[in-house]
Amino acid sequence: MGDLETLAAILIATLRAGTPLVFAAIGELVVERAGVLNLGVEGMMLVGAVTGFVVVIATGSPTAGIVAATAAGAALAALFALVALTLRANQVATGLALTILGIGASAFIGLDHVGTPISGIAPVLLGLDPLFYLSLALVAAVAWFLARTRAGLVLRAVGDSHDVAHAMGYRVLVIRHLAVLFGGASAGLAGGYLSLVYTPLWVEGMTAGRGWIALALVVFAAWRPARVLVGAYLFGGVTIAGLHAQAAGLAVPPQLLAMLPYLATIAVLVVIARARWRARLDAPAALGRTFDPPT
């Protein structure tokens, strides 16, 4: 019975560790399906995490904190959309700048709240919280939207060829703006999950590179929503395995165990790079390309 309880605890911990990756990656997947590459996921997660945390301290309402975290991520994404889409700046440079901005802004906003504990969101079913189930519903909704709805097909068309989509009368920039806002809201929600559920406190840089892992997950999933779940829980399992190895007293440096999720990310990217032709087939053809509407 003890072994079963231990396995159940490990499984629950793995699912919880993967949940913020699910939120961040599924949002970025929609962004990239629209042909936009936003490397600012880490920054949006951090701003969402600190905003949600500060709002919970001020109001005492976890629901208000989650809403605020989501809105903060969307607000930062709106800034990215303005610079990269409206002003047509380089998407890679803009995304990197967004991450730097998010890191600095979150550290400043949360300066007086470092290490302050709060009451996290309690589990509701099978030891898992409501946001875990929301993440499953969100993945299912995105999969249905992209595959079964006219709007989803239009978004994919914009990501594959914005010139053809524009010629057919679709408003490419509007569609891409909406996709970027959705991605930002999802990243903000991922950050809120970290500070309000997973480890209910604020620590500077608490995302610890999860935004970059989420970006890698989109490629790992070959831009397919269902595969995001597999990848997120795989990386969550690697994280939990490292923690359990430490608890078991293995003679392995803790720094090496902490590196495991990122080593796994590098390994996945290497495997994908070796099958470059397949990645090109799956990637949206207009990904990262600036759309310059004809006048």
CATH number at residue 266: 1.10.3470
pLDDT at 112: 87
pLDDT digits (tens, 9 = 90+) for 79-122: 999 999 999 999 999 999 999 999 999 999 998 888 788 877 87
Q: Closest Cα partner for 83 from 97, 102, 73, 100?
A: 97
Round the average pLDDT of the chain to a whole number and report it.
87
Print the domain residue range for 243. Answer: 2-282
User: What was the pLDDT predicted at 106?
Assistant: 95
The residue-averaged pLDDT of 134-141 equals 96
- 3-state SS of 89-139? CCHHHHHHHHHHHHHHHHHHHCHHHECCECCCCCCCECCECHHHHHHHHHH
> What is the mean pLDDT of the segment spanning 184-206?
93
**Per-residue pLDDT averaged across 239-250, rounded?**
65
Residue 294 lies in a domain: no
Question: How many separate domains does the chain show?
Answer: 1
What pTM was computed for the model?
A: 0.90
pLDDT of residue 294: 73
Is 215 among the domain residues? yes
Average confidence (pLDDT) over 191-205? 92
The answer to whether residue 139 sits within a structural domain is yes
196 assigned to some structural domain: yes
Residue 102: the pLDDT is 95
Residue 103 lies in a domain: yes
Does residue 96 belong to any structural domain of this protein?
yes
Task: Give me the pLDDT at residue 57, please.
Answer: 93
Cα 9 to Cα 127: distance, rounded to the nearest angstrom: 9
User: Which residues are bridge partners to 117 per DSSP?
Assistant: 201
Tens digits of per-residue pLDDT, 9-53? 888 888 999 999 999 999 999 999 999 999 999 999 999 999 999
d(CA 259, CA 236): 13
pLDDT(66) > 80: yes
Residue 293, in any domain of the structure: no
> What one-letter code names the amino acid at 134?
L
Average pLDDT (118-147) is 90
Q: Which residue has the higher pLDDT, 247 or 136?
A: 136
Q: Is the pLDDT of residue 170 over 60?
A: yes
pLDDT score at 246: 59
Residue 61, pLDDT above cutoff 80: yes
Predicted pLDDT at 1 = 44
Is 290 a member of any domain? no
